[in-house]
Structure formats: structure tokens, C-alpha cells
Amino acid sequence: MVAPLRVGLAGLGTVGSAVAAQLARAHDELAVRAGRPIELVAYASKDPPRDSSLDLSKARKAADPISLARDPGIDVFVELMGGEGDPAKSSVEAALGMGRPVVTANKALLAKHGVALARLAEKNNAALYFEAAVAGGIPIVKTLREGLGGSRIGRVYGILNGTCNYILTRMLEERLSFADCLKEAQRLGYAEANPTFDIGGFDTAHKLAILASLAFGSEVDAEAVHVEGIESISLADLDAADELGYRVKLLGVAQRTDTGIEQRVHPTMVRKGSVIAGVNGVTNAVALDADTMELTLIGPGAGGAATASSVVADLIDLAAERRMPAFGRAASGMSKPQRAAMQRHEGGYYIRLSAVDRPGTVAAIATRLAEQNISLESIVQRHRVTHGGEDPSTSAGPVPVILITYATTEAAVRKALASVEADGAIAEPPQLIRIEKHR
């Protein structure tokens, strides 16, 4: 009889508990798919399992994650504790240092130390797998690492954070403010008590940096990602986008340019009818533009069961002895990242201004944009903002003005808006949303 793959699991939170449950529930099916049984034989967790019904009687408890990583009674170490530092980092290093394969869902660890860990794995002939680290249950890592053959990828992009997508969806559909939607997301468990990592775009940036490395063969360079979150998005922006034929999504975009790899995370307007525009709620989507094909994968980006399925998929590959370098190529063959500035956006920009109500203001704003060679596709001047039943024809207050530009550069837009602010033509900081072209 073929010996089982003996699993040591560190972390019994939502995902860890789901992994343990899946290994027990699907034991026979997994044995068929992997060619050998996969069994949880040991675990380490500072807290009780998130799933109180989980039966761990057949597994022994290790004193700590590092001792588990070095345990001679396991064949693979699964790290599901999270965080870019210890104990996750030290325990993963301990396992790889012994030549022991590692499966992890830790995007923060990979974004910060992925290249070093890949080198350590390579040095010790160990495997490092992380399908669950990006987009939960969507098999995007395997697709990029193994599935595209000789295709040359030009762009990888998508909705990589379910919390942000849920908030933007609910704001528009339920006519709720950002603050109210955030509270609801926290109540439902989609957002943490401190939601900055999600709504600030940093979670998406970590995932994007990993995808860019897989797509372009360069070392992970999370510090190169331009990051903006969704905190400034208002219902007025979502309504304006809707009227103009768009939806607003927080996208992570990485693409090849003539000067290097451009990586950016920010709210984006995408045309209604595109695949990305139709992805709502906590669902994620990842799209690839290659010289041979265009491909979009859609599915659950988080949640215990979906993420655990990706962890188990990695365990099946290891049990079946299907081995690949961590990032699809030898660590020594990964190129040094060449950072590229944000380039010309063919879709242009959406700009919302609170213009001071005086003659010639809108014309002056248009002049400032023209000075930077920015052409306007449209200008929409809305009714003046009023409060408490004031007559908009007599009350003072800023006048909302929406501008849609043709293709231009980030630098030109920023310079023009700085001049507009210096002129005193607007009453509050401008709102800027890029318009991205998608199929």
C-alpha cells in the first residue's frame, strides 16, 4: 500500500479548520485523485479550532509552529497563520531549510519574502506552493505557473478583494453611504474591525505583486505597486458612473510597458457590459491578456471552504509528486524588477470637481487641462449642492462638475488639477478615477 502524505497544519482559524475538515470528509476521494491518502497527523494552534465540531483526535498537537515544521513525522508543512513576520516566516523557513515542502495561503509573507523563500526552497530541493494566497478558490496561480504554455502575458488584472467589491456593490444597489456599507461588511465578517488593509488597497497590492511575478517572471516587488483605496468613493461617483455607462471597481492592474512593469491598485471605471463590470458582491475575478488568448477566471475570493479547496489542491499535487518551481521558473532565473511609472490610459479619466460658483470657473478649469494637452470628451455641470430645502438658484455653494477626458497621462492630469486647486477654482480636493478598457 502506498504511504500517505502526512500533513502538519499550523493555524486552525477559518481556513485551517476548513482544510482539516476537507481532508477528513473527502479522504477516500482525495486518495484516488492523488494516488495516495492525504492525512492530517499533527497541528499547531495557539487558539482552539474556529470550527468547534472539528475532530482532531487522530492528530497530535505540536508545542509550536517551528517544532511542527521540523517534526520528522510529517511530510509537508501547511502554514495558515498569516502575517509577514514570525511565527509564519520562521516556521516556513524551518521547513524549507530541511527540504520539506510547504503549502501556504499567506499573501503578506509571499509579497515580502517570496523571492527569498523560493531561493531557500530551490537550494534545499523543496516545494513551495501557494494557490490559496491569491483570489481564494480561483486557480489563478496554477494557471499562470503551468497552464499557458508559450503564451506571453501583457497584462494581468482583476478584482482581488471581496470586501471592497461588496461595499461598492451594496452602495450602488442599496443607496447606502460608504460608512454604512463598511459597518455592514464588518457585521457580516467580510471586513475586519480595523479594515484599513482591505479598503486601503493593501491586500489587493500584495496579491497583485505575486500575480505580476508569476505573469512576467520578475521578482516580487510589492513596494513598486501604486496603491489607492476606496475610502474616497461616494454614492455621487457611483451614480455618475452609472449614468455614463460604467461601474466602479477596485482593480489591481499589472502590465508590461516599454520601460518595465507597471503595477497599480486603485478605483477604476469599467464599461457596463464588460465581464469585470458584472462581478459583484464578494466575488473575485482575474483576467489575463496574452498574445495567444484572453482569459477571465471568476469565483470566490475568500471564505473558509473556497480557500481551503486551493490548499488541498496543492496537497494533491504534492502527494502525486507534481512539482513546479514556486513562481514557475527557477528562482535564479527570475529577472530583477524594472519599475515603470503609471502610463498613458487609453480609457482616460473621470474627474469630479466642486467648482466655486463664479463666472468663468468652468472655462478656466478647461483651460488648465488644455495647457497640459488634455482633451475633454465631456463636461457635465450638475445642480448646485444645497441643504435644508434651500433654493439652488439663490443659495451659495459649490457646483458639481464632472469631466471625462480622452487618453492622457497620469502626470498631466495631476499637474492640471494642481493648477486648478492653486487658482482657487474648487472648494474641495478633486475626485479622480481612471477609466480602464476591458473586454
Residues catalogued as catalytic: 207
Q: List, in sequence order, every beta strand (DSSP E) within 301-427.
A: 349-355, 376-381, 399-405
The H-or-E segment that residue 40 falls in is strand 38-44
Three-state SS letters, 110-121 = HHHHHHHHHHHH
CA distance 350 to 130: 37
CA distance 439 to 431: 25
CA distance 339 to 401: 35
Q: List, in sequence order, every beta strand (DSSP E) within 105-178.
A: 128-129, 153-159
Strand partners, 351: 403, 432
Q: Residue 155 in 3-state DSSP? A: strand
Cell for 229?
A: 483605496
Q: How many helices (H) and strands (E) does the chain have?
A: 14, 16
CA distance 31 to 427: 65
Q: Is 358 exposed, middle or buried (0-12, 13-18, 19+ CB in 10 A)?
A: exposed
CA distance 202 to 96: 27
Asked whether 79 and 88 are in contact (CB, 8 A), the reply is: yes
Distances 100 to 120, 329, 360 between C-alpha atoms, Å: 11, 19, 70
